[in-house]
A = this chain, B = another copy of it.
């Protein structure tokens, strides 16, 4: 009698979890693909760019590159290229941090704020449409249930 149930392949439960995962993945990928497509055609942009702008929107004082990759949970080097391109388009700026010559703060420009506002409004409408099978209550319930998965994955 072990305290932790012995993990076994082929259990009813493990099969059900596997099916759930496959569904979740298919759903999430489907919605994501649709969002990518619409960002591309309607705003000539991408999901990673949108994600970066969304993060910067929440932190008006700007974020250091490392903080940005931390918030987005992507690798350090990853953000460099995305911010490079956003900066080329004048949507963000890199600002030197006074006391520390290593660090830079990334911030949305006014233009970036305006552009993000447009995209975010469209984004919310799209999600509303794509998840229209869920009512307010069910959506709230399900969201709560998924916290479990999220929290299992290390802090925050």
Contact = CB atoms under 8 A, between A and B. Distances in A.
Interface of A: 7, 9-14, 16-34, 73, 121, 124-125, 127-140, 142-143, 145-150, 152-153
A124 B32 contact: no
A114 to B, nearest CB: 16
A143 B19 contact: yes
29 contacts: A7-B128, A9-B125, A11-B128, A13-B139, A14-B124, A16-B140, A17-B127, A17-B131, A17-B139, A18-B128, A19-B139, A19-B140, A20-B142, A20-B146, A21-B130, A21-B131, A22-B143, A23-B146, A24-B27, A24-B28, A24-B142, A27-B146, A27-B149, A33-B153, A130-B149, A130-B152, A132-B152, A133-B152, A134-B148
B150 A30 contact: yes
Taken together, the copies of this chain in the complex come to 2
Contacts of A137: 16
A143 B18 CA distance: 10
A153 to B, nearest CB: 4
A136 B16 contact: yes
Given A21-B131, A131-B149, 15 more contacts: A9-B124, A9-B125, A13-B135, A14-B125, A16-B140, A18-B124, A18-B128, A20-B140, A24-B31, A30-B150, A33-B153, A34-B153, A130-B152, A134-B148, A138-B145
Contact of A136 (B13, B142, B153): B13
